[in-house]
Structure 1
Amino acid sequence: MNEISPIDERSAEYAVSPIFLERWSPRAYDGQPMPEDKLLTVLEAAHWAPSAYNVQPWRFIYAIKGTPEFDRMLDLLVEFNQGWAKNAGALVFIVSKTHSAPPGAAEETPNYSHSFDAGSAWGLMSIQAQILGYHAHGMTGLKFDKIPETLNIPEGYRVEAASAIGTQAAPDVLPEALRKNEVPSKRRPLDEVVFKGVFAAE
């Protein structure tokens, strides 16, 4: 396939590394299982993310395409996401531990940044996937009420999101309604999201 080059579609106002412009979230995957060592490399990178007090609240549950675990996890996505994620090479559910014991504390207390830290891990995950030639697409269109029991997630953990990871395919593998959106998205101008000194009202 002739893969779309995000560099042709995007530009940055400042000279960031090209990897940030190359990373995007397609829905068209080729259906090939992702080698487990490649997926574990992606998750290794994710778990080197920074976190408050280095408590590392993230947890990852994964499944490889073609396994019963993949089918079970696919069923935990909403129907729309199942329609395209079924062709991903792997699925990963991202979970965070909501309480932790700061240094010197004897008991765990609510960790204010558990979701923030898990999101940091997801960001590194998506970049490492890109470096290896894969694409990761995060999503929160999930059946959240069914996930804890199905995936044996105990109390004290929050399901944050899921990610499909795989090798990109041509858009024609998607339903026709999705094909027109299968392009790298752009970003708002930097001055709409970055403020010097104080927040600027929109």
Structure 2
Amino acid sequence: MTLTTTTSVARASETSAPILEVLAARWSPRSYDPSVAIDETALASILEAGRWSPSASNTQPWRFIVARRGTPAFDSIVSNLMGFNQAWTPNAAVLIVNLAETADLDGKPRGLASYDLGQAVAHMSIQAHHEGLHVHQMGGIIADGLRDAFSIPENLTPLTVTALGTLDTPEALGEEGAIAREKAPRERFPLDEIVLVNE
């Protein structure tokens, strides 16, 4: 039985148990309004949400490169994205390179760095939605290109890039397949497929 239904633009998420509205309404658009700049107070809150996420032994192995639309850093990030990501990301207000500190300064590996970075970015995405903004996370990146562009040290690994901004209409994407995907309902596996043991 569906207990929660949330609509955001043309996307709807249905949950089989009640969850927080900000979680139910979160989705990952590609159509961003290029005329809207980022609210700096909201951006600070989003980064702060990542700063206060959990981490193993409080190592806090996350680092971020934050670039606003119209800056050389932003253009460098766009040029190191793959495929269709290069087509729609220029309209985002901010691009964030998410880096995991995979080893400390002494070279000791941080085995849970990627996991902890994922938690930090998840916290940031929920805070962004709370702020009335939207996030799209991308794994289609050129990590070595980003490393060169920003002189990233060897103990930091670029894993993903996050686009952040204000929604535009799906039609602004221009490409028919992209418009259809933007309007499609969200889908998730049912709980009984992902919970292996529930005693």
Could you say which residue in structure 2 is the equivalent of 1:4? 9
1 or 2 for the larger relative contact order (CA 8 Å, sep ≥6)? 1
Could you say which residue in structure 1 is the equivalent of 2:4? none
Tell me, in whole angstroms, the C-alpha distance in 1 between the residues paired with 2:181 and 2:133.
Answer: 19
Q: 2:29 aligns with which of 23, 26, 40?
A: 26
Tell me, in whole angstroms, the C-alpha distance in 2 between the residues paired with 1:163 and 1:139.
Answer: 6
Tell me, in whole angstroms, the C-alpha distance in 2 between the residues paired with 1:108 and 1:197.
Answer: 40
Alignment: residue pair count: 190
Once structures 1 and 2 are overlaid, which stretch shifts more, 36-45 or 126-135? 36-45
Could you say which residue in structure 2 is the equivalent of 1:70? 74
Could you say which residue in structure 1 is the equivalent of 2:143? 144
Instruction: Normalising by structure 1, report the TM-score.
Output: 0.88
Preserved CA contact (<8 Å) 1:36 1:64: no
Listed one character per residue, the Cα deviations across residues 17-71 of structure 1 (whole Å, up to 9, x for unaligned) are 1111100000000012213332222111111110000010000101111222211
Cα gap change, 1:57 to 1:29, in 2 (>3 Å): same
Tell me, in whole angstroms, the C-alpha distance in 1 between the residues paired with 2:19 and 2:10.
Answer: 16
Higher helix content, 1 or 2: 2
Tell me, in whole angstroms, the C-alpha distance in 1 between the residues paired with 2:8 and 2:18.
Answer: 24
Once the two structures are superposed, the pairs formed by residues 48-63 of structure 1 within 5 Å of their partners are 48-63=52-67
Where do 5+ consecutive residues of structure 1 fail to align? 102-106
User: Share of identical aligned residues, percent?
Assistant: 37
Q: What RMSD, in angstroms, separates the aligned Cα atoms of the two structures?
A: 1.9
Where do 5+ consecutive residues of structure 2 fail to align? 1-6
Listed one character per residue, the Cα deviations across residues 115-168 of structure 1 (whole Å, up to 9, x for unaligned) are 000000010010000000000000011112211110111011111100000000
Could you say which residue in structure 2 is the equivalent of 1:124? 123
The amino acid of 2:124's aligned partner reads M
Could you say which residue in structure 2 is the equivalent of 1:46? 50
Listed one character per residue, the Cα deviations across residues 147-201 of structure 1 (whole Å, up to 9, x for unaligned) are 1110111011111100000000101110222000003422110111112169xxx
Preserved CA contact (<8 Å) 1:5 1:22: no
Instruction: Normalising by structure 2, report the TM-score.
Output: 0.89
Q: 1:89 aligns with which of 82, 90, 93?
A: 93
